[in-house]
Structure 1
Amino acid sequence: MTDGADDRLPTRVQTPRLLLRCWQHDEASILGDLVEGNVEHLRPWMPWIKFEPQTVTERVALIETWTRQCEEGGDVVFGTFFDGIAIGSCGLHRRVGAGALDIGYWIADDHTRRGFATEITSALTTTAFGVAGIERVEVHTDEANEASAGVPAKLGFHRDRVIEKEPTAVAESGRSVIWTMAQADWC
């Protein structure tokens, strides 16, 4: 995964309104309630929703997997908390190759259109560029998901390319837009 402590991803990020921190195994019910309350909101764009509902035991195991990945220097998955309440989840992922991180995010339906996804993506971009060896940050959105694409566009990410891929969620077009930000271009 990684070679040293300076290239490890953080386990906590504070934004002006949000706390992003790793999910804890004792929060499996909180995460479960959040996901279950947003299944129809998430179904169009999130391929993992097909595995819902999960039992508390399955969700604990998932959180423990995320914890282990983080401890081993891999991906980090954060709960997104507003005024102490979980309103979504996000992450920094090492799935796009050396020198780069990919940001993923979702916000509960009753908290959308308040700028939270933009705030998260801005903070995680700044955080990513503070990690040794990271020179590029990516956000991947389906071409049909205009709301999600608005986030990197608003932050000045470059619409780098479109990749044809098999749709994995019900509303996906099969065209994944790759938005990129180079460290030198991030203010």
Structure 2
Amino acid sequence: MTEPAERPKALPADVRPPETIDLDGFHLRRPTLDDAQALHDAIVATFAELHAWMPWCKEPVEIGEQRGFIERSMTDWAGQAAFNWLIVDAGDNLIGTIGLMDRIGPGSLEIGYWLRTGATGRGVMTRAAARVTDIALALPGIDRVEIHCDAANLRSAAVPRRLGYRLDREGPAEPAAPGESGLQQFWITP
């Protein structure tokens, strides 16, 4: 029996986005294990919103899960499977995460994100996603960026809409979190 062929990576070997990204009033940076407590605290503070949409956000929120996320982020960055950043405000407070994931196929990357309660409504995620989109499209071999979200997650869908992404398609998806409708939206760069 032969082993299944490994899916080609979206990026050429040794190509990665910047580790830090400065934006007006906040910045993105790669997480370190020292960030586990701040990440845990942000998730606990935002549990009600995250739990509705994020299958990984379950009670009880365990700091070991955040350590695991950071460790996977380090491995994924090295292996080009995903590039995760913390979103940190001017006061060095962790207010969310954003990531580029290689799970679509050659030439495409997917953006995923969440923002802490209290940091929403100020354009932070729209500006972060805009910059990450521009960075992704500037990487060699990348010609498309996608954002996937449940159709009922109106706040999440508002980000690609504001950025000029177009709704490419909708399709059924087994709900994996309590707020999900079972209808997945696939937004793509124009």
TM-score (norm 1): 0.90
Residues 82-118 of structure 1: per-residue CA shift (max 9 Å, x gap): 1111101110111111111111111111111111110
- How far, CA to CA, are the matches of 1:168 and 1:10 in structure 2? 32
The residue aligned with 1:60 is 67
SS at match of 1:48: coil
Does residue 104 of structure 1 match 2:116? no
User: What runs of 5+ residues in structure 1 fail to find an aligned partner?
Assistant: 183-187
Q: How does 1:21-170 map to 2 (within 5 A)?
A: 21-50=29-58, 52-55=60-63, 57-83=64-90, 84-170=92-178
Give the conservation status (yes or no) of the 8 Å contact 1:45–1:169: yes
- Structure 1 runs (4+) greater than 4 angstroms displaced: none
- How far, CA to CA, are the matches of 1:147 and 1:34 in structure 2? 18
Residue 65 of structure 1 and its aligned partner are, at CA, apart by 1.5
- How far, CA to CA, are the matches of 1:46 and 1:52 in structure 2? 14
The residue aligned with 1:180 is 188
Equivalent AA in structure 1 for residue 87 of structure 2: T
SS at match of 1:109: coil
SS at match of 1:124: helix
Q: Percent identity?
A: 33
Give the conservation status (yes or no) of the 8 Å contact 2:12–2:140: no
Give the conservation status (yes or no) of the 8 Å contact 2:12–2:141: no
Residues 31-70 of structure 1: per-residue CA shift (max 9 Å, x gap): 1111111111211111110264113x44323311211110
The residue aligned with 1:185 is none
Comparing both structures, which one devotes a greater share of its residues to helix? 1
Equivalent AA in structure 1 for residue 86 of structure 2: G
Residue 131 of structure 1 and its aligned partner are, at CA, apart by 1.1
1:16 to 24, 40, 43: 24
- How far, CA to CA, are the matches of 2:187 and 2:44 in structure 1? 29
- How far, CA to CA, are the matches of 1:102 and 1:24 in structure 2? 22
Distance 1:35 1:100, change over 3 A: same
Residue 22 of structure 1 and its aligned partner are, at CA, apart by 0.9
The residue aligned with 2:5 is none
RMSD of aligned Cα (Å): 1.5
